Amino acid sequence: MSKSDIILEIKNLTKEFNVKTKLFGYGKTPTIKAVSDISFFVKRGETFGLVGESGCGKTTLGRCIVRGIDATSGQVMYYMEDGTKIDFLKAKEEEYKDLRKRIQMIFQDPYSSLDPRMTVYDIISEPLKACYKLSKPEIDDRVKEIGKATGLDISYLKRYPHAFSGGQRQRIGIARALITLPDIIVCDEPVSALDVSIQAQIINILKDLQAEYKMTYIFIAHDLSVVEYISDRVAVMYLGRIVELAPTEKMYSYPKHPYTEALLSAVPNPDPERKMRRIILQGEVPIPSNPPAGCHFHPRCPYRGKECDSVIPELYELEDGHYVACHYANKLRLSGIGQVQ
């Protein structure tokens, strides 16, 4: 794979939060590593899925990528069409203005992410006004075009967010992210707050828009079925780290990490004739401010060995395009989601 195939490269990205627990000036101030030394790349035109349990750092990673919050360290390298690359986290003012319209985000909550004092027209057009110098007719035409593409009735553009359902509000959020015609959209659980029937509509809208506008998605979710449907490659996160990364078909058919195996075993199977082996992990998710030594997953791992207690496994390429962070991945024979028990 050539560098021209890559549009975004994350290098050693870390985000730490200092939690203030002092009482009358006494006590400790623990540090939480929400994202810990994460590296991966995203290819042009693909949908890169990011999954894991609640609290594993998915949303924090997404917001660091778009500079919604400042990363503690690391790089987010954006590759331009001419081959030059810019660190989005350290971009100068003019570079940042240009990159800002190229990288957008769809937020999880379709209610709190929209300003209730602004009309739908103002919400959708605001990024366009901030990034381009366009006339009123040009802005109107773009808003109507994107509104139609996302399934919004343009006669409702003068209404306020409270007049819309959750699915309609999420369409407004998608239209706002799409209005600048970005190269990359970070989708932070865009369907998790919606009914199943509405989820399917939104997912299909995203796929259609991707095909039409040649966009790249980073799709954050905890619903493995949705991720399987929309993603080309999937990364699994656990306690701030990526533990496995692979093409979707490989990941779901032949997981290499015990945590991925357990996640996939929890996906409901609609076929009543097929019985799946459900893997119940023992213990609780460790506290992020005090993670276990070595592999963060080892206290809950049924395959753990002595090395897991003290040595943090590096993410390495086990097979072509299949990366895993496990000391014994090459020795384990894990069951896939399609295995009948």
Pair (178, 319) in one structural domain: no
Averaged pLDDT of the chain: 88
C-alpha to C-alpha distances, 109 to 7, 170, 171, 190, 291, nearest whole angstrom: 27, 8, 12, 8, 29
Pair (266, 297) in one structural domain: yes
Q: Is the Cβ–Cβ distance between 313 and 325 less than 8 Å?
A: yes
pLDDT of residue 25: 57
- Count of domains observed in the chain: 2
Where a domain ends, among 231, 255, 275?
A: 231
Where a domain ends, among 186, 214, 231?
A: 231
Pair (84, 222) in one structural domain: yes
Query: Which residue type occupies 89?
Result: L
Return the exposure string of 12-37: e unless at least 16 CB atoms fall within 10 Å of the residue's CB, then b: ebbbeeeeeeeeeeeeeeeebbbbbb
Pair (175, 144) in one structural domain: yes
Pair (336, 244) in one structural domain: yes
Give 294-317 pLDDT, tens digit per residue.
999 999 998 888 899 999 999 999
Pair (160, 48) in one structural domain: yes
CA quadruple 247, 51, 245, 213: dihedral positive or negative? Answer: positive
Domain that holds residue 308: 237-341
Pair (153, 87) in one structural domain: yes
CATH number of the domain residue 17 falls in: 3.40.50.300
pLDDT of residue 28: 63
Sequence-ordered list of residues with C-beta below 8 angstroms from that of 190, at least 6 positions apart, any chain: 106, 107, 108, 170, 173, 174, 202, 206, 219
Where a domain ends, among 180, 210, 231?
A: 231
Pair (188, 267) in one structural domain: no
Per-residue pLDDT of the chain (341 residues; tens, 9 = 90+): 556 789 999 999 999 998 776 655 555 667 888 999 999 999 999 999 999 988 899 999 999 999 999 999 999 999 988 888 999 998 888 888 888 889 999 998 888 889 999 999 999 999 999 888 899 999 999 999 999 888 888 888 999 999 998 889 999 999 999 999 999 999 999 888 778 888 888 899 899 999 998 999 999 998 888 999 999 999 999 999 999 999 999 999 899 999 999 988 887 776 666 666 778 788 788 888 888 999 999 999 988 888 999 999 999 999 899 999 999 988 877 755 434 33
Please state, in angstroms and rounded to a whole number, the distance separating the CA atoms of residues 143 and 181: 11
Pair (224, 260) in one structural domain: no
Alpha helix segments (H runs only) across 119-231 = 120-131, 136-149, 166-178, 196-213, 224-230
* DSSP code at position 328: T
pLDDT of residue 31: 84
Please state, in angstroms and rounded to a whole number, the distance separating the CA atoms of residues 172 and 113: 10
Pair (227, 275) in one structural domain: no
Please state, in angstroms and rounded to a whole number, the distance separating the CA atoms of residues 193 and 173: 13
Tokens describing residue 272: 């009543």
pLDDT of residue 64: 95
Pair (218, 330) in one structural domain: no
Pair (269, 208) in one structural domain: no
Determine the straight-line distance between the first and last CA of the chain, rounded to whole angstroms: 38
